Amino acid sequence: MEAEIIDSRFLRPCGEETGGAGVLPFTMVIFGGSGDLSRRKLMPTLYHLHGKESLDGFTVIGFGRHDLDDEAFRGSMKKAITEFGDEPPDDTQWNDFGRRLYFLSGDYEDDAAYRRLLELIERISVRTGGAIDVIYYLAVPPEVVPAIVEKIRQNRRDNEGLREKIIVEKPFGRDRASASALNRLLTTAFREEQIYRIDHYLGKETVQNILFLRFSNAIFEQLWNNRHIDHVQITVAEEIGIEHRGSFYEQAGVVRDMVQNHILQLIAMVAMEPPVGFQADFIRDEKTKIFRSVRPVDRKYIDTSMVRGQYGKGMTGTEEIAGYRQEEGVAKDSCIPTFFAGKFHIDNLRWAGVPFYVRTGKRLPKRISEICIQLRQLPLRLFGHTCDVMEPNVLILTIQPDARISLRFNVQYPHTAGQIHAVDMKLGYRETFRTAIHPSYERQILDCIRGDLTLFVRQDSIEAMWEIVDPVISRWNECGPDDFPNYAAGTWGPEAAKRLIEQDGRRWITG
Ligand SMILES: NC(=O)c1ccc[n+]([C@@H]2O[C@H](COP(=O)([O-])OP(=O)(O)OC[C@H]3O[C@@H](n4cnc5c(N)ncnc54)[C@H](OP(=O)(O)O)[C@@H]3O)[C@@H](O)[C@H]2O)c1
């Protein structure tokens, strides 16, 4: 019975490639084709997928204002794959891959450019059953997105036989109102099932695995509620700063850049109820319910249970690191936060009384993303005073840099009479399955080609997520920080982030 409702993609044995046969020919149009995302992620991903023979009969068109011809675009993408791919392109593979790349120069608001684009798509694409599968990838800054969507809609011809999908990158809007406006615009041009709002965190193997761990193991699912769980912690720490993206970050800040999307998605994966099945909409329904159950925060709550930070100069090892305000493109008196810590509550029967502590920031001591689920202590006095220092059981899901699951529990230390010692039982994906973890873009691009929306964010979720963070952004805009910069680069954020959890008698586990 189960097998009938579970998507067979999810039933593959562990470690089997997710590529392989079954990928139909397609044409991907990358708007902003010569930009950073295209060079750093999209081209190396497509090249890697092509190398695994997952892709056949495909073509890629870079679209942008740059004055490039096909040969110059191919040369530039070969360089990008050399720089950002796993290994330099191999001649034989490159010859087949490179010839599938085209570039079309044009302005994003010029109708004639879109007509030329349609002609090019028709000329170079492989048809399936008389139609062409086209994926528009919007790899452009958000302010350019509306014009492109509008122009695709206006220049579309009814009889051209295109089966279209569109991938939209984060940030998806700047707040609830702009996200709704963008959703309305997108749905004038595409049906919801053609729209792939990407959050690359959802493509990470360990993030997907949260659902498998929860729903396929009696040992965990039985305990996954407020009777047994004391609290949940989520840390998404970046060692890097803003990497020459100062002007982008000045418009975004940590709440828009990380909390509204990655952090809330992680909360939903941990907190959602079991879906009816593993089809995209069943999973997305459950996540949306969680976003709607997150307790709304008011000004008083934000002031007492949320912490903002901005890094000043500091050291990593012997290297001196500039503060945020010294970065290129950043105002000398910028009040943009680069660190967030906060406590969320989910008001439903499963989670009532279980706080979710989250923490994310730039220029922290190391790159690590981790979810820690701490269980309640046993009400036991069996071991006398040892009970007072006994470590609680913690399930730790490490998402990056290495995908890992660990369970902390207590044993008697050898050769002692009753000395309790906490140990971690660990499962490392790489060692256990002897396979590399697929980069998230690879999985999500393949899913989009195949038409699987599970790992993409639906319109209602996006808007509900903005509703959670909008009050925080507004509150922090209306009352400027008086202590920025308040943490040194290379440290775990402002002292207030420690106090936030310690005042509840708990402590950050990741570190
Ligand atoms: N870069 C990443 O690693 C990364 C990761 C996650 C998400 N994203 C998201 O992906 C999208 C694209 O990011 P990106 O880093 O590739 O951006 P980008 O390099 O700044 O811009 C991409 C391309 O967009 C075109 N463009 C059109 N109007 C522009 C304007 N007003 N200003 C600048 N460029 C303009 C440019 O190409 P032409 O001049 O040829 O038109 C440019 O090369 C953004 O939404 C970003 O948040 C990026």
Mean pLDDT of the chain, nearest integer: 91
Rounded to whole angstroms, the Cα distance separating 256 from 469 reads 8
Nearest CA owner, ligand 1 atom 44:
141
Q: What band does 17 get if pLDDT is binned at 50, 70 and 90? A: very low
Q: What is the pLDDT of residue 385?
A: 67
Rounded to whole angstroms, the Cα distance separating 58 from 162 reads 14
Residue of 30, 31, 37, 151 to mutate, ligand 1, most atoms within 8 A of C-beta: 37
Q: What band does 214 get if pLDDT is binned at 50, 70 and 90? A: very high
Residue of 40, 42, 140, 168 to mutate, ligand 1, most atoms within 8 A of C-beta: 140
Interval 374-403 mean pLDDT = 83
User: Could you report the per-residue pLDDT of 444-496, keeping only the tens digit for each?
Assistant: 999 999 999 999 999 999 999 999 999 999 999 999 899 999 999 999 999 99
User: Could you report the per-residue pLDDT of 99-121, keeping only the tens digit for each?
Assistant: 999 999 999 999 999 999 999 99
pLDDT at 230 over 90: yes
Tell me how far the alpha carbon of residue 365 is from its chain's centroid: 21
Question: Own/partner pairs for 126-129, CB < 8 Å, 24+ apart?
Answer: 126/25, 126/57, 126/58, 126/59, 127/25, 127/161, 128/24, 128/25
Q: Tokens for 19, please give them.
A: 């590529």
- Which fold, 202-378+429-438+464-502? Dihydrodipicolinate Reductase; domain 2 (3.30.360)
Identify which has the larger pLDDT, 328 or 205: 328
Rounded to whole angstroms, the Cα distance separating 96 from 100 reads 7
Q: Is the distance from CB of 204 to CB of 400 less than 8 angstroms? A: yes
Question: What is the CB < 6 Å shell around ligand 1?
Answer: 32, 34-37, 40-41, 64-66, 139-142, 144, 169-171
Nearest CA owner, ligand 1 atom 5:
37
Distance 314 CA to ligand 1 centre (A): 30
Ligand 1 closest atom vs CA 198 = 7
Identify which has the larger pLDDT, 356 or 170: 356
Q: Would you say the C-alpha torsion 205, 208, 210, 214 has a positive or negative sign?
A: negative
Q: Tokens for 108, please give them.
A: 């994003």
Q: In 3D, which of 469, 509, 494 has the Cα closest to residue 373?
A: 509
- Which fold, 2-169? Rossmann fold (3.40.50)
Distance 59 CA to ligand 1 centre (A): 21
Residue of 30, 31, 34, 36 to mutate, ligand 1, most atoms within 8 A of C-beta: 36
Q: Which residues contact 216 (CB under 8 A, 6 or more apart)?
A: none
Q: Which residues contact 21 (CB under 8 A, 6 or more apart)?
A: none
Nearest CA owner, ligand 1 atom 43:
35
Percent of the chain with pLDDT over 70: 93
- ∠ CA 197-198-200, rounded to 5°: 165
Catalytic annotation, residues:
262
Minimum mean pLDDT range among 266-270, 344-348, 425-429: 425-429
Position of tokens 């106090």? 499
Q: What length does the chain have?
A: 511
Q: In 3D, which of 506, 273, 209 has the Cα closest to residue 375?
A: 506
DSSP symbol at 416? S
Q: In 3D, which of 160, 161, 164, 168 has the Cα closest to residue 185?
A: 168
Interval 257-277 mean pLDDT = 96
Q: Considering the entire predicted model, what is its pTM?
A: 0.91
Q: Break the chain into its structural domains and give their ranges.
A: 2-169, 202-378+429-438+464-502
Nearest CA owner, ligand 1 atom 45:
141
Q: Is the distance from CB of 144 to CB of 32 less than 8 angstroms? A: yes
Distance 121 CA to ligand 1 centre (A): 22
Q: Residue 233 forms beta bridges with which residues?
A: 357, 372
Nearest CA owner, ligand 1 atom 25:
32
Q: What is the pLDDT of residue 159?
A: 65
pLDDT at 14 over 50: no
Distance 479 CA to ligand 1 centre (A): 31
Ligand 1 closest atom vs CA 39 = 16
- Tell me the longest C-alpha to C-alpha distance in the chain: 83
Alpha-carbon dihedral angle through residues 267, 269, 274, 276, given to the nearest 10 degrees: 120
With helix as H, strand as E and coil as C, how does 422-452 read?
Answer: EEEEEEEHHHHHCCCCCCHHHHHHHHHHHCC
Q: What is the pLDDT of residue 340?
A: 98
Distance 77 CA to ligand 1 centre (A): 15
Q: What band does 12 get if pLDDT is binned at 50, 70 and 90? A: very low
Side chain identity at 239, as an amino acid letter? E
DSSP symbol at 394? E
pLDDT at 7 over 70: no
* Helix 176-189, helix 459-478: angle, nearest 10: 150
pLDDT at 377 over 80: yes
Distance 14 CA to ligand 1 centre (A): 35
Q: Is the distance from CB of 86 to CB of 48 less than 8 angstroms? A: yes
What is the DSSP track for 110-148?
Answer: -HHHHHHHHHHHHHHPPPBTTBEEEEEEE-S-GGGHHHH
The CA distances from residue 5 to 275, 283, 374, 448, in Å, are 11, 13, 32, 21
Q: What is the pLDDT of residue 3?
A: 29
Q: Tokens for 217, please give them.
A: 């193991």
The CA distances from residue 22 to 48, 55, 66, 105, 465, in Å, are 17, 9, 35, 32, 34
Rounded to whole angstroms, the Cα distance separating 164 from 282 reads 23
Nearest CA owner, ligand 1 atom 28:
144
Q: Residue 166 forms beta bridges with which residues?
A: 136, 195
